[in-house]
Amino acid sequence: APHLRRARAGYITLVLLGSDEQFAEHIPELLDHQGQLSVQPLPLGPERLLVLLRNHRAACRLHREAAEGELLQDRYRSELDELFAIGRALSSERNTDKLLPLILQKMRAVTTADAGSVYIVESEGHDARRTLRFKVSQNDTVKLDFREFTLPVSKRSIVGSCVLGREVINIVDLYRLDPPGQGNNPWGFSHNRDFDAKVGYQPRSMLTVPMIDAHEQVLGVI
């Protein structure tokens, strides 16, 4: 019975071997079974058993691939729904202070990110020197004391490099970055761990994406 339940749930493919007499008392349960199950009468030679097991292994693989395909379809549908929600928000919401947190929330949902931030590009003075304003922050693990601040647009920071390069920066592990300019760190920056130690939060993988408008201007960074 436990093996039948597992097979009915799709976790295993079950092959039952036995005589007609042995199966007789279980026929109602077997007929009602909807899982991955086959019943083979004895005697059964080794050659036929080998063919049987190979066929069931192939069936297991196809069943697993089909289940994975369904999961991917569900994920794509969910991500499209989130993107459509962002599109509706962009077209209807004019209040930036409400719009930016919503965009960040949806982007975190799509990427299953634990935390995220939004920086807005600003220009200062007549020389149009650009700075980045830390505008929005969200974190599911720790509660941070949020305060706006600015930093210059330069290659010394990840967000600054994202603005200047106008490209996505995907870092697998901040704590395993090679020295600036080497290996997996072609951008030439280093991660400051002082803030991590202060707040008790260790960011590992980081996806940094520029927000670019229809005029090809970088408006900010997520």
Which pLDDT score is estimated for 125? Answer: 59
Query: In angstroms, what CA-CA distances link 17 with 9, 20, 79, 126, 222?
Result: 21, 10, 46, 85, 59
pTM beyond cutoff 0.85: no
- Residue 92: pLDDT above 80? no
Q: Which strand (E) or helix (H) includes residue 198?
A: helix 194-199
Q: Which of 134, 154, 152 is nearest to 144 (CA)?
A: 134
- Residue 111: pLDDT above 80? yes
Whether the CB-CB separation of 212 and 218 falls below 8 Å is answered with: yes
Average pLDDT over residues 101-115: 89
Sequence-ordered list of residues with C-beta below 8 angstroms from that of 89, at least 6 positions apart, any chain: 99, 102, 103, 106
Which pLDDT score is estimated for 11? Answer: 66
Q: How confident is the model at residue 71 (pLDDT cuts 50, 70, 90)?
A: confident
Chain-centroid distance, C-alpha 176: 20
* Residue tagged 């706006």 (tokens): 148
Q: How confident is the model at residue 35 (pLDDT cuts 50, 70, 90)?
A: low
Which pLDDT score is estimated for 177? Answer: 83
